[in-house]
Chain A
Amino acid sequence: MAILALKSRPTEITPDADKSGPIELVRYVCAIGAMQSAAAIPRVVPITHCGPGCADKQYMNLAFYNGFQGSGYGGGPVVPSTNASQREVIFGGADRLRELIESSQTVLDADLFVVLTGCIPDLVGDDVGSVVRDFQKKGVPIVYAETGGFRGNNFTGHEAVTRAIIEQYLGPWDGVREQGLVNLWSLLPYQNTFWRGDLEEIKRLLESIGLKVNVLFGPDSAGLSEWRDIPRAQFNLVLSPWLGLATAKLLEERYDQPFLHLPVLPIGARQSGEFLRQVAAFAGLPAEPVEQVIVREETRYYNYIDGFTDFYSEYWWGLPARFAVIGDSAYNLALTKFLVTQLGLIPAKQIVTEDPPVEHRDSIREQFRAIDHDVSVEIDFIEDSYLIHDAIRKADFGHKPPIIFGTTWERDLVKEMKGSLIEVGFPASYEVVLSRSYVGYRGALSLLERIYSTVVSHSA
Chain B
Amino acid sequence: MARKLKQIAIYGKGGIGKSTTTSNISAALAEAGYKVMQFGADPKADSTNTLRGGEYIPSVLDLLAERRRVDAYEAIFEGFGGIYCVEAGGPQPGVGCAGRGIITAVELLKQQRVFEELNIDIVIYDVLGDVVCGGFAVPVREGIAEHVFTVSSSDFMAIYAANNLFRGIERFSNSGGALLGGIIANSINTEFQREIIDDFAARTDTPIVQYVPRSLTVTQAELSGRTTIEAAPQSAQADVYRQLAKRIADHTESKVPTPLNPQQLREWSARWADHLVAAERAEAERSREIA
CA distance A91 to B100 in the complex (A): 9
| Count of B interface residues, CB-CB < 8 Å | 13
Q: Is B92 touching A86 in the complex (CB atoms < 8 A)?
A: no
Q: Is B104 touching A91 in the complex (CB atoms < 8 A)?
A: no
Report if A124 contacts B (CB, 8 A).
Answer: yes
Q: Count the A-B residue pairs with Cβ separation under 8 angstroms: how many?
A: 39
| Residue of A with least CB distance to B65 | A91
CA distance A89 to B68 in the complex (A): 13
Interface centre among B64, B92, B97, B98 (most CB of A within 10 A): B97
Report if B61 contacts A (CB, 8 A).
Answer: yes
| Complex interface bits, A84-105 against B, C-beta within 8 A gives 1, otherwise 0 | 0011111110100000000000
CA distance A89 to B65 in the complex (A): 11
User: In the assembled complex, how far is the CB of residue B43 from the closest CB belonging to chain A, in whole angstroms?
Assistant: 11
Q: Is A91 touching B68 in the complex (CB atoms < 8 A)?
A: no
Report if A383 contacts B (CB, 8 A).
Answer: no
Chain A stretch 355-410: residues in CB contact (< 8 A) with chain B: none
Interface centre among B91, B96, B101, B104 (most CB of A within 10 A): B96
CA distance A90 to B62 in the complex (A): 11
Report if A126 contacts B (CB, 8 A).
Answer: yes
CA distance A123 to B134 in the complex (A): 13
Report if B95 contacts A (CB, 8 A).
Answer: yes
* A94-B95 contact, Cβ under 8 Å, with A86-B104, A89-B100: yes
Q: Is B68 touching A87 in the complex (CB atoms < 8 A)?
A: yes
* A124-B97 contact, Cβ under 8 Å, with A86-B104, A90-B61: yes
Q: Is B95 touching A126 in the complex (CB atoms < 8 A)?
A: yes
CA distance A92 to B94 in the complex (A): 9
Please indicate the chain A residues that have their CB under 8 angstroms from the CB of B96 in the complex.
88-92, 124
User: In the assembled complex, how far is the CB of residue B173 from the closest CB belonging to chain A, in whole angstroms?
Assistant: 26
User: In the assembled complex, how far is the CB of residue A119 from the closest CB belonging to chain B, in whole angstroms?
Assistant: 12
Interface centre among B92, B95, B100 (most CB of A within 10 A): B95
CA distance A94 to B65 in the complex (A): 14
CA distance A125 to B98 in the complex (A): 12
Q: Is B64 touching A89 in the complex (CB atoms < 8 A)?
A: no
Q: Is B104 touching A90 in the complex (CB atoms < 8 A)?
A: yes
Q: Is B95 touching A87 in the complex (CB atoms < 8 A)?
A: no
CA distance A264 to B214 in the complex (A): 75
Q: Is B97 touching A89 in the complex (CB atoms < 8 A)?
A: yes
| Residue of A with least CB distance to B135 | A90
Please indicate the chain B residues that have their CB under 8 angstroms from the CB of A123 in the complex.
97
User: In the assembled complex, how far is the CB of residue A186 from the closest CB belonging to chain B, in whole angstroms?
Assistant: 40
| Residue of B with least CB distance to A126 | B95
Please indicate the chain B residues that have their CB under 8 angstroms from the CB of A91 in the complex.
61, 65, 91-92, 95-96
B101: contacting residue among A88, A90, A125, A127, CB under 8 A: A90
User: In the assembled complex, how far is the CB of residue A203 from the closest CB belonging to chain B, in whole angstroms?
Assistant: 46
Interface centre among A91, A92, A94 (most CB of B within 10 A): A91
Q: Is B97 touching A87 in the complex (CB atoms < 8 A)?
A: no
Please indicate the chain B residues that have their CB under 8 angstroms from the CB of A127 in the complex.
95
User: In the assembled complex, how far is the CB of residue A377 from the closest CB belonging to chain B, in whole angstroms?
Assistant: 46
User: In the assembled complex, how far is the CB of residue B96 from the closest CB belonging to chain A, in whole angstroms?
Assistant: 4
CA distance A89 to B103 in the complex (A): 11
Q: Is B64 touching A87 in the complex (CB atoms < 8 A)?
A: yes
User: In the assembled complex, how far is the CB of residue B126 from the closest CB belonging to chain A, in whole angstroms?
Assistant: 19
CA distance A125 to B92 in the complex (A): 13
Please indicate the chain A residues that have their CB under 8 angstroms from the CB of B64 in the complex.
86-87, 90
CA distance A90 to B100 in the complex (A): 6
Please indicate the chain A residues that have their CB under 8 angstroms from the CB of B101 in the complex.
90
Please indicate the chain A residues that have their CB under 8 angstroms from the CB of B104 in the complex.
86, 90
Please indicate the chain B residues that have their CB under 8 angstroms from the CB of A90 in the complex.
61, 64, 91, 96-98, 100-101, 104
| Complex interface bits, B92-121 against A, C-beta within 8 A gives 1, otherwise 0 | 100111101100100000000000000000
CA distance A287 to B13 in the complex (A): 75
User: In the assembled complex, how far is the CB of residue B167 from the closest CB belonging to chain A, in whole angstroms?
Assistant: 23
User: In the assembled complex, how far is the CB of residue B67 from the closest CB belonging to chain A, in whole angstroms?
Assistant: 10
Please indicate the chain A residues that have their CB under 8 angstroms from the CB of B68 in the complex.
87
Chain B stretch 191-211: residues in CB contact (< 8 A) with chain A: none
Please indicate the chain B residues that have their CB under 8 angstroms from the CB of A87 in the complex.
64-65, 68
Please indicate the chain A residues that have their CB under 8 angstroms from the CB of B98 in the complex.
90
User: In the assembled complex, how far is the CB of residue B83 from the closest CB belonging to chain A, in whole angstroms?
Assistant: 26
Q: Is B91 touching A92 in the complex (CB atoms < 8 A)?
A: yes
9 A-B pairs within 8 Å (CB atoms) are namely A86-B104, A89-B100, A90-B91, A90-B100, A91-B92, A91-B96, A124-B100, A125-B97, A126-B95
**Given A92-B92, A92-B97, 14 more contacts at CB 8 Å?**
A86-B64, A86-B100, A87-B64, A87-B68, A89-B96, A90-B64, A90-B96, A91-B95, A91-B96, A92-B96, A94-B95, A123-B97, A124-B96, A124-B97
Closest 5 CB pairs of A and B: A92-B95, A92-B96, A91-B96, A90-B101, A91-B91
Give the B-binding residues of A (Cβ under 8 A): 86-92, 94, 123-127
Give the A-binding residues of B (Cβ under 8 A): 61, 64-65, 68, 91-92, 95-98, 100-101, 104
